[in-house]
Every structure is written in structure tokens, then in C-alpha cells.
Structure 1
Amino acid sequence: MGTPLIPEPAAGAARADTDDGPVADLLRPFVVVAVVAAVMWVQELVDLVPGTPFDSWGIRPRSVRGVLGIPLAPFLHDGFRHLFANTIPFVVMGGAIASGGIARFVRVAAIVGAISGIGVWVFARSGTVHLGASGLVFGFLTYLLARGVIARKVTWMLGGLVVLVVYGGILWGLLPRPGVSWTGHVFGAIGGVLAAWVLHRRTPGTAA
């Protein structure tokens, strides 16, 4: 018998097999943010097991070991109350940033995390360990506030005002308080403004 001939699928059908559709494209950035938050919760659950020293890997100012805490600290929290306080604003504001693209969320998080972590490592009080995603949260807030002004986009400015109304109260965390990593908050906020400037500054020749 001869080899049977199978009709080649139409171009549109081929695309349908590989294209997840517009809904999936819209949800994918939010899923990425949710997965990052889920990693924080899984780590905290595992941390309930006796003998798990995860929290000791936070940022230790001016310590060689503490350098590893710069990328790790946002995933470590001092209990579920601390984690819950960071999770909602992280997911909401992170999702707002990721709606502009997963790459944008990664860049903002990387800039904010680096500035916040390095600032803590250099300037925070010795003999302390700094944990939590609050540096990212403060950076996300100031990024969303600053990007509209830097890019001169009215819609982003209005969005920033909404964010300020909803989460502006956390800015009190920039003030020094015992037992709170306010240094991370301050440098996270600086990192958010820097991220907005790096990603959205108008350069000569940019269209209005």
C-alpha cells in the first residue's frame, strides 16, 4: 500500500493550536506576579519545620554573608503576619506594573531590589538581619507614582493618584521606627523612582 496523504492544516488552524488566545495573554503577567508571591508563602511554610535557618539568610549589613541576602531577603519574612502585610500590595501593585509586560515587571523588581538591598547592606545598623518584600512594595509604589510624571502620560498620572489614595499610607514606613527595616523602605522608594527614570525618561527625539 502507498503512504496515505494527510492534508496539510490551514495556516489559521496552525496558529489556533499554538496561540493561547487574548485572555491568556492578559492573564499571563498577573500569573507571574502571583507565582512570585506563592514562592514567598511556600518558603514561609517550609520555614515552620524545625531547624530550617532560612531567615538567617537575610541582609546582614556589611557582612560578606549578608551580600547573599540582597536577592534572597524579599522571599524571607518574619512570620505570616509580616508576609500577609506585604503580599496584597505586592500582588496588586506588581500586577499593575506587569500589565505593561512581564519584562517591565522583572526590570522594575530588579532595580528596586538591588537599590533597596544594597542600601540596607551599606547603611543599616550592624548586627541586624533584614527580611521581607517591603522594599519592593515601597519601590513599586514610588515607581507607579513617578512614571507618569517622567513619561508625561496623563493616564499613568491618574493611575498613580489611585495608587497613592489606596496605598499612600504606607509612606509613613519611611520614618525610622524600632524593629522595622525603614532603611530598606527608603532605598526601595529611591529604587522605584530610579526605575521609572531608567525605563521611561524622555530622550531627545522621543515622540510626544
Structure 2
Amino acid sequence: MQVVLKDSSPVELLHHSCTCVAGAALCNHCVALLFQSAHYSQLKVPVVPPVLSCTEGEQQWHKPRTLGVKPGPVDKMAVLSAKPKCRATKDGVRSTLYKGLSGELPDLSRVTEAYKDFSTAEAPMICSMSISCEIPLVDSALGKVQAGSPLSYQQPATAKRDLSFHAAPPRPSMPLQNYCLQPSSCMFVCTEPQQLHHRSLEVTWDMVHKF
């Protein structure tokens, strides 16, 4: 691969070539080299830095590896042991949350009013969740909950499939009583055994009614 640049302001590309299949045109190898050269120019690196081996670079053990870790709902997570002691713990521990009430959730804004005279240490924890009737309700897997609550984003409403049923078209009308296919005499299209097999497939009107 060869890239020739003109020492001017701005820099001009004079010639480029590569030994790959797309080397006659501007291939991705030349583009990658141009991007890498521009990166070195912006960093004001006089020479190409050497490639360090794994023993020459800084150790990465103390740095947490967050690649591939994405946030998700709690009920979709499984807590696994590094060394499972029994067969039952191979699948991990998962959430068993379910809706214990039949119907909609009760109005929890009245709970705060009932415990308004209690101190923070004596009142239940639900009183510190800023639940009030002024916050709008949103749909969740457990029913209507207040927007911004943990249930609103940990238990989102299941998406419903919008199914639309279409009526089947009416059955096509059968041919007329006196309608029949004309016998084919194009022997040059099919061989004689094929022509005889085609004629054996012909049925009468009575046979159609029996079928």
C-alpha cells in the first residue's frame, strides 16, 4: 500500500495504491491510513509510536471491565455463584416477583396523609417515596403506578400485539355445467407418456361433486 501526500496547506492527496482487490480505487486500507495519519498529526506525534507487548504496558487488573454490562430490569437478572456447590444453583437466583392483588393497586397517596403526624423513623418507608395524587399514573405490568416510581421502569407494561383479522374472500364460483377443457393436441411440448398422464387427470362433473 502506498499513499503520496503533497506538503502544502491544506495537504493534498497526490497518489494512492494498494495490493488488495479494490486497490485501483480508494480502498478502506488507504482510508484507514489517511485517518491514522491525520490522528497522528493532530496529536503532533513526530513518529509512529511502537506497538507494546502485553508485558510492557500497564497492568489492567485494577480497572473494572464494564464492556458488555448494560442496565436492565431486576426480574431479568440472575445471581450466579462463581463456584456452584450444587446442581440447583447452576441457573442462579432469579426474581419471583408477582402481583399479589387482584385488580388495580390501591391509592397509596392516602398512606402519606395517614402517617403525616408520625416521625420519619416511625413512619413506614413508603412515606418517603414522594407519593401524591398530583403525580400522573402510567401503565405497568402490575397495573397503574405513579410515574417515576421503581415499578414504572422495573416492571414496564408488556407490549400488546396489534392483531387485525381480515375476512377471507368468498369461494370462487365453480365452472358452468357445460364447461369442459378442450383436449390438448400439442405433442411437441410433452412426450407421449406425459400427454397420456395429463389426460388421465381429467375428471367429470360428477367426480367433482363426489370429491
Task: Report the TM-score range of the alignment, normalised by the length of the smaller protein.
Answer: under 0.3
Higher Cα radius of gyration: 2
In terms of fraction of residues, the more helix-rich structure is 1
Specify which structure has the bigger relative contact order, considering alpha-carbon pairs within 8 angstroms and separated by 6 or more residues: 1
In terms of fraction of residues, the more strand-rich structure is 2
Tell me the TM-score normalized by structure 2: 0.20
Tell me the TM-score normalized by structure 1: 0.21
